[in-house]
Amino acid sequence: MALIAPPLSLYVHMPWCVKKCPYCDLNSHGLRDAPPPYADYIDVLLADLDADLADFGAALHDRPIVSVFFGGGTPSLFAPGLVARFLDGARARLPFADNAEITLETNPGTVEHGRFDGYLAAGVNRLSFGIQSFDDDKLKRLGRIHSAAEAEAAVKSAQDAGYTNLNLDLMYALPQQTLDGALADVARAVGLAPTHLSHYQLTLEPNTAFAANPPPLPDDDHAWSMQEACEAALAAAGYGQYEISAYARPGRRCTHNLNYWQFGDYLGIGAGAHGKVSGTATGQVHRRWKAKLPRAYLEAAGGPARIGGDGTVDAAELPFEYMLNALRLIDGVPMGDFAARTGLDPERLKAPLQDARRRGWLTDDAARLQTTAQGQRFLNDVIGLFLD
């Protein structure tokens, strides 16, 4: 079956942060004595983009960019003028949708962000704050360098600068956290009136400081109680859950993340960035990721050494990859999207779909791929059914 070109996004990885958090398994690198070469990095990002466009140009079909996401690390370590230089360069190379969502991740500490009005003038129309908690003790345990008061002040500062589209990241099941503590964090976040909230459980990821020396975390039953209670509190405050860990005011769902979950395409620019491009002519899904270490990425300067890995996704792996994203959505996706985004016959899903529905993990709607409440709780098991 033929692949149909999905929406196209742009992910830009900014790898530096002030200090590496003990729970973080992302490609982030704490600041050393000498400041990072921020301006040089912008030049290399644009060279990387040029090289990817040369490689994938035929598959992009002049599709407009529907979203840009600056992730990290802490992208707001880059001054607004540098962010503007990248966006201006990207717009000169690619068409942008008129309503393109452009998100910049930022942390609340005053040393970690530039002037918010500067980012707004640069073209960034959405900010995502890595707050994690409003409890100073929990912030200290998480290795964060900001306080609850600084978090509130930073959000209000962004709103005063003119931002009307803000996401706040919160964690739950933190070291020795109680149910009341998790609900208090949600209440403080809601009080700031963001348009979007990401609320996810702290997990121990391999190769992190927390994995080597685990802190005392709530058990699974207590973590589930926190999740259920916080979901109810967010719903009562007007935030609709549309993904396992994402909640939004009406009309404020994150375009960029929705494109991931709906198996859309995205160019990945920057150290360690991952990308996905659908080849409608070849009928294949191509994945590419970049050299992980900032020094190696910078030295490649847009050349072949910038690529850390490259290749098409085997057809046998596509059902799992598709479900890994699509089944995170609370409302699911139309069944027809599977064939359009993978080029595969839906018959390949017949056996695992029957198994999932028999277990009560998926709804009985044959026209839609959608988990039940039980399926959401055991999502990893549901997705595992689609492994080759």
**pLDDT digits 0-9 by tens, 288-346:** 999 999 999 999 999 999 999 999 999 999 999 999 999 999 999 999 999 999 999 99
Do residues 318 and 285 lie in contact, with contact meaning Cβ atoms separated by under 8 Å?
yes
Please determine, for residue 245, whether its predicted confidence score (pLDDT) is greater than 80: yes
Please determine, for residue 203, whether its predicted confidence score (pLDDT) is greater than 90: yes
Residues of the chain with CATH 3.20.20.70: 8-259
Q: What is the per-residue pLDDT for 2?
A: 74
* Mean pLDDT confidence for 61-82: 95
Residue labelled with tokens 């992208």 = 75
Token pair, residue 75, equals 């992208």
Assigned architecture for domain 318-384 = Orthogonal Bundle (1.10)
Q: What is the per-residue pLDDT for 252?
A: 98
CA separation for the pair 315, 209 (Å, rounded):
37
* Mean pLDDT confidence for 54-74: 93
Bridge partners (DSSP) of residue 72 are 14
pTM for this prediction: 0.96
Residue 73's region, left for phi above 0, alpha for psi from -120 to 50, else beta, is left
CA separation for the pair 46, 240 (Å, rounded):
37
Please determine, for residue 379, whether its predicted confidence score (pLDDT) is greater than 90: yes
230: Cα within 13 Å, side-chain hemisphere: 32
* Mean pLDDT confidence for 34-42: 95
Do residues 240 and 248 lie in contact, with contact meaning Cβ atoms separated by under 8 Å?
yes
Q: What is the per-residue pLDDT for 378?
A: 93
Please determine, for residue 25, whether its predicted confidence score (pLDDT) is greater than 90: no
* Mean pLDDT confidence for 147-168: 96
Phi, psi of 37 (to 5 degrees): -80, 70
Share of the chain above pLDDT 90, in %: 91
* Mean pLDDT confidence for 32-59: 94
Stretch (H or E) spanning 106:
strand 96-106
* Mean pLDDT confidence for 202-229: 94
Grade residue 349 by pLDDT with cuts at 50, 70 and 90.
Answer: very high
Please determine, for residue 11, whether its predicted confidence score (pLDDT) is greater than 90: yes
Residues of the chain with CATH 1.10.10: 318-384
Bridge partners (DSSP) of residue 287 are 276, 311
At a CB cut-off of 8 Å and minimum separation 6, what does 225 contact? Answer: 179
* Mean pLDDT confidence for 102-118: 88
Helices 179-191, 220-236: inter-axial angle, 10-degree rounding: 30
CA separation for the pair 18, 141 (Å, rounded):
17
Average pLDDT, the chain: 95
Q: What is the per-residue pLDDT for 111?
A: 67
Q: Does domain 8-259 have CATH number 3.20.20.70?
A: yes
Q: Compute CA distances 95 → 9, 269, 365, whole Å.
A: 11, 17, 38
Residue labelled with tokens 């598959």 = 59
